[in-house]
């Protein structure tokens, strides 16, 4: 059966070599006589899987030794609450609201203390990122929180906040592993895995060790619910309870693919930049489709666009699906179309999409 081009914002495409390797291992993982989906998380086989997954992730992302990596259930949305519960030690934190998920993160933060929105791009429907160098950060802030790539609105930070003594916390769900990242600039990076890493069902947090063992002001560390406590879970190497075993296994396969087949994140960035350029160059070359995002802040992973009216948008998505281009409908907050072109989307998928877009334009101009 021919595989379609899946432009979903998540769950998204996975690299075909990874899927084939998982398929080969499905019934009998490396002579164990069982699938990873059914083996004990305390077995020697899974112990090797989780250790290898973390070690490979550290190499691929160049994670410094003073950072812990944890594998969590609950997705990135649970991290919205875990971050302030564990890190809002002063009772105050700064949030940059540049889209739907950063807005939700700020709302969760406000449940544990003062979540100061120091900047928002809502005034232009989140089509740009505020200048991070000129914002009124608070010296009392426990951390600064950003969503570095905004899946729904198709924007990405061109620069990131760097304030002495105030850790940066970043939700990188829709851009992690798409390019090199200097982890040392962050106190905490977290991400749901369902976009660029693995099947849905897990989040990963990478946390600088000096931030651990604390809690939100007014909440003693020992009162943090066990499954919301970074210190407890990381202290158990993500094995306090049964972890999301299959997601961890698949994450390991993707890390191996990035390291050995792609050649690392610098190479992945070149591939992704070339793909995005093809699509953005086409959008800029005509006046039938429109991308509303300011050029400097265009996402490399999520490309939003509209046709002249909502009826044509609907027709475009319907015709695209028939042609094998699925999940191009834009989010309800934006409308139009959105092409999520994560790591696993092959360059040919972009070339074929642009050809389809041009044919549709000519037929409906």
279 CB-near residues (< 8 Å, 6+ apart): 303, 339, 341, 350, 353, 354
pLDDT at 310 over 80: yes
Residue 10 and residue 24 share a domain: no
Structure tokens at 41: 């998380």
Residue 1 has pLDDT above 60, yes or no: no
Same domain, 252 and 276: no
State which of 246, 261, 276 marks the end of a domain.
261
Residue among 51, 81, 84 at smallest CA distance from 239: 51
Mean pLDDT of 80-106: 98
Please give the pLDDT value at position 135: 97
Q: How confident is the model at residue 349 (pLDDT cuts 50, 70, 90)?
A: very high
Would you state the pLDDT for residue 365?
A: 87
C-alpha to C-alpha distance for 70 and 238, rounded to whole angstroms: 6
List the beta bridge partners of residue 6. Answer: 326
Give the domain-ending residue among 261, 286, 320.
261
Q: In this predicted model, what pLDDT tens digit does every residue of 147-172 receive, in sequence order?
A: 999 999 999 999 999 999 999 999 99
Query: Last residue of some domain: 238, 261, 284?
Result: 261
- Range(s) of the domain holding residue 149: 17-261
Contact 207/70 with Cβ under 8 angstroms? yes
Residue 7: exposure state from Cβ atoms within 10 A (0-12, 13-18, ≥19): buried
Total structural domains within the chain: 2
235 shares its domain with 275 = no
What pLDDT band is residue 333 in, cutting at 50, 70 and 90?
Answer: confident
- Asked if omega into 23 is within 30° of 0 (cis), the reply is no
Based on the domain organization, do 9 and 157 belong to the same domain? no
Q: Residue 49: is its pLDDT beyond 70?
A: yes
Q: Is 8 helix (H, G, I), strand (E, B) or coil?
A: coil
Residues 110 and 137 grouped into a single domain: yes
For the chain, what is the mean pLDDT? 97
Same domain, yes or no: 331 and 185 = no
Q: Same domain, yes or no, for 22 and 11?
A: no
pLDDT computed for residue 263 by the predictor? 98
Same domain, 174 and 47: yes
10 and 68 in one domain?
Answer: no
Question: What CATH number corresponds to the domain at position 229?
Answer: 3.40.640.10
The model's pLDDT over 223-262, given as tens digits with 9 standing for 90+, comes to 999 999 999 999 999 999 999 999 999 999 999 999 999 9
Q: Are residues 88 and 110 in the same domain?
A: yes
Mean pLDDT computed over 261-286: 98
Q: Which CATH number characterizes residue 306's domain?
A: 3.90.1150.10
pLDDT at 3: 87
- My answer on whether 24 and 121 are in the same domain is yes
DSSP letters, 280-347, are: HHHHHT-SSSB--S-GGGB-SSEEEEB-SSHHHHHHHHHHHHHTTEE--BPPTTT-SEEEE--TTS-H
Give the Cα separation of 19 and 35 in Å (integer).
14
Specify whether 250 is located in the same domain as 270: no
301 Cβ contact partners less than 8 Å away, ≥ 6 residues apart? 149, 151, 156, 174, 175, 178, 195, 196, 272, 276, 340, 341, 342
180 contacts 193 by C-beta, under 8 angstroms: no
């Amino acid at each position: 059966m021919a595989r379609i081009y899946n432009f979903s914002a998540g769950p998204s495409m996975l690299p075909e070599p990874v899927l084939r390797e998982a398929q080969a291992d499905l019934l009998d993982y490396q002579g164990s006589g069982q699938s990873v989906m059914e083996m004990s998380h305390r077995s020697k086989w899974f112990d090797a899987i989780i250790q290898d997954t973390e070690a490979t992730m550290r190499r691929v992302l160049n994670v410094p030794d003073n950072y812990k990596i944890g594998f969590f259930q609950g997705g990135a949305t649970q991290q919205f609450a875990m971050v302030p519960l564990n890190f809002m030690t002063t009772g105050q934190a700064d949030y940059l609201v540049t889209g739907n998920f950063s807005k939700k993160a700020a709302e969760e933060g406000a449940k544990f203390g003062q979540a100061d929105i120091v900047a928002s791009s809502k005034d232009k429907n989140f089509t740009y990122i505020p200048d991070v160098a000129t914002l009124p950060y608070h010296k009392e802030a426990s951390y600064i929180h950003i969503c570095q790539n905004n899946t729904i609105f198709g924007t990405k930070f061109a620069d990131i906040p760097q304030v002495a003594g105030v850790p940066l916390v970043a939700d990188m769900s829709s851009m992690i592993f798409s390019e090199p990242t200097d982890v040392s600039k962050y106190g905490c990076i977290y991400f749901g895995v369902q976009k660029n890493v693995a099947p849905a069902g897990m989040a990963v947090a990478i946390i600088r060790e000096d931030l651990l063992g604390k809690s939100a002001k007014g909440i003693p560390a020992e009162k943090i619910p066990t499954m919301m406590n970074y210190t407890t879970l990381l202290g158990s190497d993500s094995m306090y309870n049964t972890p999301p075993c299959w997601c961890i296994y698949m994450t390991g396969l993707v890390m191996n693919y990035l390291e050995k087949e792609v050649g690392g994140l610098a190479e992945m960035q070149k591939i992704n930049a070339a793909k995005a350029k093809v699509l953005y160059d086409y959008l800029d070359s005509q006046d039938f489709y429109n991308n509303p995002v300011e050029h400097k802040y265009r996402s490399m992973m999520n490309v939003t666009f509209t046709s002249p009216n909502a009826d044509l948008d609907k027709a475009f998505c319907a015709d695209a699906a028939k042609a094998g281009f699925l999940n191009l409908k834009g989010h309800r907050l934006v409308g139009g179309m959105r092409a999520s072109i994560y790591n696993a989307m092959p360059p040919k998928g972009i070339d074929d999409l642009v050809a389809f877009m041009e044919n549709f334009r000519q037929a409906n101009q």
